[in-house]
Every structure is written in structure tokens, then in C-alpha cells.
């Protein structure tokens, strides 16, 4: 299995670690830490040394309740870093839903568009369809970042997510985008309750039935804080490393091809242990 992107054909026969690079002052986990070009580029280099195989750059926080960032501000945050990051000889993903940002970063050589809206904003789908080879990640989100947790989903969430992702991928293919360019993401935390998020993990295999690679984004999410709370107090996002690593390994074990994480070194080590176990298991039925 491969993910075709602008410059790279990414091998997904082994799970890939995508390192998160937030160039925002208000990210729920590390807002402001990498807000300058120099610090963000250093963070990119650090993640690569720790074992990240893909960089995911974002210029707008999409945490619950966050406000939209003006276009010019997002471009000012993202474009200078993408211009430098594409020189690092690794796949560069940009986390954006704005078609104008997509055009700008793809013109700079970015490899992947990672869109929480699954290309439903403006002419985003047309931007991706017109590109000859960029990769795209289509994510499921219920409602929008401002309201998604005030009225979470109802009913069989796994079925709804699977249907949405299947239809979004089919629509993109109908525009001429090859299926090997498409990855899907169930959108952990985006309009789902804690129980629903873990239901998506428990039944993750059902999201793989269309054959598209799956990206899992559990890193430091509030659901992990909820189940690891002590005396009703969830740990701060940066203190959810162990929980995040556990969720990443569980997602990979259930078939995820890519895990999007803040804590790259710890996740890479955990997956090395998992791989060793799989390799030593005779006639293993565990997804590799």
C-alpha cells in the first residue's frame, strides 16, 4: 500500500509517524512554542531526528471552540515555513481547509493537503483535483470547531463516519483524483463524545472496508485526558504522552497506516516494540 503525494510515494506497508508542527499561538497543546519561523524550523528538524517520516504544518488551531483565523494571517504563518520545510527532503503536509492556502503551499511544493473539512469549503476539492499528484487526507468532522462539542453526534457514530468518508472519497475520485492519493481520518475529538471516540478505536476495522489508508490523530486529545483523570482532574495536554502513545499503538494494531503525533520519539520507540512483537508472532493475524 502506498500514498501518492506531490514528490513522494510513501510506503504504508509499515505504519508512518506524522509529526505535528503548530505555528499557532493558541493550539490546545503547544500554542505559541513554534510561532516564529526559526523555532518552527528547528522543531521540524527535531521531529525528523526523532523519527518522523512526514511533517504536518498547521497555521490555525481547530480545537473545540476555536475561532477561524483570517486568510492573510494563516498565509503569513504557514507559507514561510513550508518554503523552508520542502527543502528537508521529506513529505510536507499542510493542515488547512482554505483553498487559497492549499494553492499557495502546493505551488511551493507541499506534498499533502490535510483538511478537517474534507474539501467541503469553497473550491478546495477543485484545487486538489487540478493538482497532478498531491496527496490528500479527508477527515470527518461533525458540525464545526466552534460548535462541534456543544452538540456531539448521535446514533451509530462508526457507521456515520464510515459513510461520510466513503462518500467524500468517491466524490473526489469522480473528479479524477486517483485513489492512491487519498487517505481518510475519522476525526477523533471532532464532534464526538469520549465514548464515541473510543468506539471508533474499538471498531476501527470497519472504517477500512473501502481500502483507503487510515490516519489516526489521538495525540494529547481531551478523550485521553478524560480517561486518565485523577480525582476528576484530567492531566494537561503535555502530560498525556503515555496515553497518546498507547492510543497510537492501539490504532496501528487495528490497521491505521499513519499516526499524527506530537511526541514523535516516544511513539517511534513504542512502534518499534510493536513491530518486534509482530515479527516474532508465528502466522500473526495482527495487521502489519
pLDDT tens profile 156-177? 999 999 999 999 999 999 999 9
User: In this predicted structure, what is the pLDDT of residue 286?
Assistant: 53
The answer to whether residue 221 is catalytic is: yes
The catalytic position among 98, 162, 220, 260 is: 260
The predicted model scores a pTM of 0.93
The catalytic position among 220, 221, 240, 254 is: 221
In the chain the domains, ranked by start, together with CATH numbers, are 2-279 (3.20.20.20)
User: In this predicted structure, what is the pLDDT of residue 28?
Assistant: 47
SS3 230: strand
Angle between helices 157-174 and 194-202 (to 10 degrees): 70
Interatomic CA distance for residues 109 and 6, integer angstroms: 7
- For a pLDDT cut of 90, what percent of the chain falls above it? 86
Of 97, 86, 76, 101, which is closest to residue 25 (Cα–Cα)?
76
Amino acid at each position: 500500500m502506498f500514498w501518492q503525494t506531490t514528490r513522494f510515494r510513501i510506503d504504508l506497508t509499515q505504519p508512518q509517524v506524522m509529526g505535528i508542527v503548530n505555528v499557532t499561538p493558541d493550539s490546545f497543546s503547544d500554542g505559541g512554542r513554534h510561532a516564529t519561523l526559526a523555532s518552527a524550523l528547528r522543531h521540524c528538524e527535531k521531529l525528523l531526528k526523532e523519527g518522523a517520516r512526514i511533517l504536518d504544518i498547521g497555521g490555525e488551531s481547530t480545537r473545540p471552540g476555536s475561532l477561524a483565523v483570517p486568510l492573510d494571517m494563516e498565509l503569513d504563518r504557514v507559507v514561510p515555513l513550508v518554503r523552508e520545510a520542502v527543502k528537508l527532503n521529506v513529505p510536507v503536509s499542510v493542515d488547512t481547509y482554505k483553498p487559497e492556502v492549499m494553492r499557495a503551499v502546493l505551488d511551493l511544493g507541499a506534498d499533502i493537503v490535510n483538511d478537517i473539512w474534507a474539501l467541503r469549503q469553497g473550491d478546495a476539492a477543485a484545487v486538489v483535483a487540478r493538482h497532478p499528484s498531491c496527496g490528500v487526507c479527508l477527515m470527518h468532522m461533525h458540525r464545526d470547531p466552534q460548535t462541534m462539542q456543544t452538540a456531539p453526534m448521535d446514533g451509530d457514530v462508526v457507521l456515520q463516519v464510515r459513510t461520510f468518508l466513503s462518500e467524500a472519497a468517491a466524490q473526489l475520485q469522480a473528479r479524477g483524483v486517483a485513489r492512491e492519493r487519498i487517505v481518510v481520518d475519522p476525526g477523533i475529538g471532532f464532534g464526538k463524545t469520549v465514548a464515541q471516540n473510543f468506539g471508533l478505536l474499538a471498531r476501527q476495522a470497519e472504517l477500512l472496508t473501502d481500502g483507503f489508508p487510515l490516519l489516526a490523530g489521538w495525540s494529547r486529545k481531551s478523550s485521553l485526558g478524560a480517561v486518565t483523570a485523577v480525582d476528576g482532574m484530567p492531566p494537561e495536554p503535555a502530560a498525556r504522552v503515555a496515553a497518546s502513545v498507547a492510543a497510537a499503538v492501539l490504532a496501528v494494531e487495528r490497521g491505521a497506516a499513519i499516526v499524527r503525533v506530537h511526541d514523535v520519539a516516544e511513539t517511534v520507540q513504542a512502534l518499534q516494540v510493536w513491530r518486534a512483537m509482530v515479527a516474532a508472532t508465528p502466522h500473526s493475524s495482527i495487521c502489519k
